[in-house]
Amino acid sequence: QVQLVESGGGLVQPGGSLRLSCAASGTFFRINTMGWYRQAPGKQRELVATITSSGNTNYAVSVKGRFTISRDNAKNTVYLQMNSLKPEETGVYYCNAVVTKTSLAFHVVDYWGKGTLVTVSS
């Protein structure tokens, strides 16, 4: 019912920057929270940043000050600006959206994108 399509991943040198985008489409009443998670090879998926519909943000300690999450509610799109990237931040970055499916506020569903690969290497 809801699809999340990520874009913007790729190869970047240490210290470089990338901007990820994720557009949501499908059937839903509203998107409550959108966020980015990443999974490094051999590691568990971890939270990178989230943003609520009202614009409140939450960041992993390791990325605070370097990454910026934002969203365009009119476009149902969330962005992640990543600066000063480190090799250990290589991994698959997944877009997440918590949505209210209908006008019934208790009907909340969690969706995930397929992921976009970010490789930080020289």
In the chain, pLDDT over 70 holds for what percent of residues? Answer: 100
Average pLDDT, the chain: 96
Q: What is the mean pLDDT of residues 86-99?
A: 97
Phi, psi of 50 (to 5 degrees): -135, 160
Q: How far apart are CA 72 and CA 55, in angstroms?
A: 10
CA distances from 2 to 14, 39, 71, 110 (A): 34, 22, 17, 10
pLDDT over 90 at 104, yes or no: no
User: pLDDT class for 28, splitting at 50, 70, 90?
Assistant: very high
User: pLDDT class for 103, splitting at 50, 70, 90?
Assistant: confident
User: pLDDT class for 91, splitting at 50, 70, 90?
Assistant: very high
Residue 80's pLDDT is what?
98
Q: How far apart are CA 28 and CA 59, in angstroms?
A: 26
Q: What is the mean pLDDT of residues 89-118?
A: 94
pLDDT over 80 at 105, yes or no: no
pLDDT over 90 at 106, yes or no: no
Residue 43's pLDDT is what?
95
Q: What is the mean pLDDT of residues 59-83?
A: 97
